[in-house]
Structure 1
Amino acid sequence: MTTAQVFAVVIFVGMFIMIVLDKIERHYVTLGSGILTLTVVFGICMKNGTAIMDTLALKNFASKDFWYQVTESESKGINWATIIFIAGMMVMVEGMAKAGFFRWLCMKIAYLVKCRTIPIFITFMVMSAFLSMFIDSITVIMFLAAVTVELASLLKFNPVPMILSEIFCANLGGSATMCGDPPNIIIGTSLGFSFFDFLTNTGLCAGICLVVSVIFLYFAFRKELAGNTSAPVDMSKFPKPSEAITNKKDFAISCIIFACAVILLVTHATTHLTVATIGLFIAAITLIAFGKHALELIKKVDYKTLIFFIGLFIVVSGLEETGILKLIANFIGDISGGNIKLMIAIILWVSAVASAFVDNIPFAATMVPIIQSLAETSGVPISTLAWSLAIGTDIGGSATPIGASANVVGTSVAQKNGYPIGWGRYCKKIAPATVIVLAISTVYLFVRYL
């Protein structure tokens, strides 16, 4: 190994360890690691100014393909399309939250099923999966868990089974579309896949798995939830859904903007508008629509996550530029011996196991160039490997309380309200559900693509 390769690996491993230990905020870790990569790997070891400029990828902003793309172009360095899209969706979601959209939706569904525990349990799982197809799962769980705790105090049931099921279904729903989970955004923007590509491939698999998951989780938790179902419910004691709407005009506007975002994402393969353009447009119309509250929405954007992405992309670029990722791809190719089934299984299950314990975002960003190299050397279609990676990283994160951001948020909301969820409590039912879904996904990938 060359000096540059050694330093690139040391920086990457050090970054991963720091993220797992969680002693320093992760955006500081990746940004610091990114600066080290630029200075030590590219500057001192390689003395390559071109590699630095390619990694920073600032010239992309002046490129027509960045905003309007007819043919697929390779993404290198910082994936600014991902950064802009996530930022735009964050602004839209903050606007929807301010208008009371999420709280209204939860209360409306509770009313429709007459506040009966088991129907709420099933409909909230399905709603968690559906919303997570279009909105970041962290936001979905934040509001769903809070409303679940409120309903639990009124209906006198334990909210933990419902929150655990909502977390699992949010991660499952996020795997269905390109904008549902950050790893999918990275995979889609890097490899040129559209919203519709994900929906017809990972989306179909997620739909099958959702049906099985709802049945499994219902039987796993029914005894805990069935305790108070016989008691009559006095609907007059519950807050009305309309009370959740803080401003009717803002509520209507936020619904229209959300519909626009969905339409633009579904049609972007036809319109050729990139996700960067869609993200910027959605953010702009949200800020214009909310007028005097625009500055408040901008302040609420999660800038720490955006910085985390930027640093992460730089570190992964260090592995790519030094040829480390190509070596890993060749290693996976050698292990599988050219057996496509084994290759798919390795990518799916290794991604899942890794994502159960470490953040699935850096793992996905690292694996994208690896599967590109694998596709080139083995002749396996890149799309087949991409769907294996997407499903593995998205679903695997469900298995443990730290595997995905939605898990951390959901368990935190429960703990703040006096319902602590330990590793044992979490993994007892959710880890088996994860294994079942991964097994179904493996069969799905084999049957459909081989």
Structure 2
Amino acid sequence: MVTAKIFAIIIFILMFALIIMDKIPRQWVTLGCGLATIVIVFGICMRSPSAIMDTLNVKSIFTAEFWHVSGNSTEESSGINWATIIFIAGMMVMVEGMAKAGFFRWLCLTIAKAVKYKVMPILVTFMIMSAVLSMFIDSITVILFLAAVTVELSQLLKFDPVPMILSEIFCANLGGSATMCGDPPNIIIGTALGYSFGDFLSNTGLIAGVGLVVMVVFFSLAFKKELTANAGSGTGEAVTYPDPKEAIENKRDFIISTIIFLTAVVLLITHAQSGLTVAFIGVFIALLTLITSPKHVRHILKRVDYKTLLFFIGLFIVVGGLEQTGVLEVIASFIEKLCKGNFLAMVFIIMWISAMASAVVDNIPFAATMVPVIKSLAMTTPGADLGVLAYALSIGTDIGGSATPIGASANVVGTSVAAKAGHPVGWGKYCKTAIPATIIVLVIAMLIIKVRYF
């Protein structure tokens, strides 16, 4: 077993190193390392077909509880978290349907028009919109459309789009931390530990809400000078503002996609009461989108981000190798000894380690790695509350991922959109405001956790 542990660790470190280097597409990195885990760790070192089957975890899909849960049962299986993958795939299909109907561009332009195309009000409203949308839709999609419209408005109103895009990125990650379906790390944590949309909203949602108020003030003050530098410096010619209605190519598709989105929101909010799992909701919403858009089925399915789904599958296999060989139990034991039984210290260490790690590596694999660790800590530490550890991990990974350009996928997407528009964002420019903002929100989280749970 010692040999198996060593190879599991080597494969895991190699996977992280290759992801950070970003020379090979990350889905091939995790799939390759996942295959190496199955062959070397499970096959050669452990000679355990059962470990392979437990990690692939295909049988869980064919159980009734995978689709509908009665009572407060939680998912105890290890390995590939198919609920996460199926839910994300379903939401991707829904989002592509909404994008095809022009929903996101219409929403952005409608809000800009409502504040009379004034730069500072646009900054505030776009930050709030970024956070609210990211509570229900993957932050990558939110930033993709929000950043594109920001660039369009910046050309029209003559302001630098970078400060606004950086603010939107941070608020997207902040809003994503508020709910179970907001960010991939939360989906992983929620599905693995059996927490609902309401559980996250009433715990991490409180932290995100307070943090959002503070961040709106922070970024407004930090970027006011840059955003208003060219105010009133137009040529004097009449400016023609884009009409939000132009974003809607087909009114029927627009109405249907809006109804489907609202249906998804209702199902997610009530899934703890209805017993419907996120996997069921993902499949249902995807089928609803495809059935109501028969002419666009091929376009929607073609646009789904299959690379991210493959990335998740390989990632879960590699983490399953650490779990099956007992490496994660060793990590949990080390953290427990470090804290010397002090649960408050344990919570803060989990949160800050998660934040610092997620600032330099993708927060998705880190969250997947830490879920079994906090489960082990909750079982072995007297007085430990798994929920508090889970919410600390959620805040740490989601907010910590905002600190650098590579910490979360939304950061990469947002800065890429800015760069393509001729506004490259260096590490210095990004981190100048992102790191202080991250620290402020984490301190707020510490205060709320201390007051609420201890």
**Gapped regions of structure 2 (runs ≥ 5):** none
Q: Is the 8 A contact 2:57 2:77 kept in 1?
A: no
Aligned to 1:435: 439
2:206 is aligned, of 204, 213, 234, to 204
Alignment of 1:205-354 (within 5 A): 205-230=207-232, 237-354=240-357
Deviations 1:250-272 (A, max 9, x none): 00000000000000000000000
Q: Does 1:375 align with 2:378?
A: yes
**TM-score, normalization: structure 2?**
0.97
Aligned to 2:172: 170
Question: Which amino acid is 2:60 matched to?
Answer: N
Q: Is the 8 A contact 1:55 1:314 kept in 2?
A: yes
Identity among equivalent positions (%) equals: 65
Q: Is the 8 A contact 2:355 2:396 kept in 1?
A: yes
In structure 1, distance between residues paired with 2:237 and 2:370: 53
Question: Which amino acid is 1:287 matched to?
Answer: L
1:261/1:235 CA distance change after superposition, 3 Å = farther
Aligned length: 450
Deviations 1:185-243 (A, max 9, x none): 00000000001100100011100000001101111011111234457998860110000
Q: Is the 8 A contact 2:403 2:438 kept in 1?
A: yes
In structure 1, distance between residues paired with 2:376 and 2:178: 25
Question: Which amino acid is 1:270 matched to?
Answer: Q
In structure 2, distance between residues paired with 1:400 and 1:15: 20
In structure 2, distance between residues paired with 1:44 and 1:101: 52
Alignment of 1:33-432 (within 5 A): 33-70=33-70, 71-230=73-232, 237-379=240-382, 380-432=384-436
Question: Which amino acid is 1:4 matched to?
Answer: A
Q: Is the 8 A contact 1:75 1:189 kept in 2?
A: no
Deviations 1:65-97 (A, max 9, x none): 100111223131110000000000000000000
Question: Which amino acid is 1:385 matched to?
Answer: L
In structure 1, distance between residues paired with 2:58 and 2:441: 40
1:442 deviates by: 1.1
Question: Which amino acid is 2:444 matched to?
Answer: I
**Gapped regions of structure 1 (runs ≥ 5):** none
Q: Is the 8 A contact 2:54 2:77 kept in 1?
A: no
Aligned-residue RMSD, C-alpha: 1.2
In structure 2, distance between residues paired with 1:238 and 1:281: 39
1:234/1:174 CA distance change after superposition, 3 Å = farther
1:442/1:234 CA distance change after superposition, 3 Å = farther
In structure 2, distance between residues paired with 1:228 and 1:251: 36
In structure 1, distance between residues paired with 2:9 and 2:97: 41
In structure 1, distance between residues paired with 2:295 and 2:346: 53
Range 37-46 or range 365-374, more displaced: 37-46
In structure 2, distance between residues paired with 1:41 and 1:23: 25
In structure 2, distance between residues paired with 1:35 and 1:105: 43
Question: Which amino acid is 2:297 matched to?
Answer: A
